[in-house]
Amino acid sequence: MKVEVQQALEEIRPMLQADGGDVELVDVTEDGIVSVRLQGACHGCPMSQMTVKNGIERLLKERVAGVTEVVSV
């Protein structure tokens, strides 16, 4: 599942980079929890939690079977 998550994140990355940010995959657990670290302008941004939940989590759940949640670390 980690490879599929990484591929899906590659689709999201250009949108984040356009705003001066980026995303790093930290871990994928067996129960489908994906840990990511926002970087650049996204790190510490007031909208970062919305980006994780409404953007990254939604896309990963659509594209990768077994993803249950995305958390920012």
Region for residue 66 given its phi and psi (left: phi exceeds 0; alpha: psi -120 to 50; beta: otherwise): left
**Residue 64 in this model has a pLDDT that exceeds 90:** yes
Query: Of 27 and 47, which is predicted with more confidence?
Result: 27
Q: Residue range 3-11: average pLDDT?
A: 95
> Measured over all CA atoms, what is the biggest interatomic distance in the chain, rounded to whole angstroms?
32
End-to-end CA distance of the chain: 19
Each residue's pLDDT tens digit, 13-39? 998 899 899 999 999 999 999 999 999
Look at the domain 2-72 and name its fold.
Answer: GMP Synthetase; Chain A, domain 3 (3.30.300)
Place 44 in a pLDDT band, splitting at 50, 70 and 90.
confident
Q: What residues does each domain of the chain span?
A: 2-72
Characterize the bridge pairing of strands 33-40 and 69-72: parallel
Average pLDDT over the chain, rounded to an integer: 92
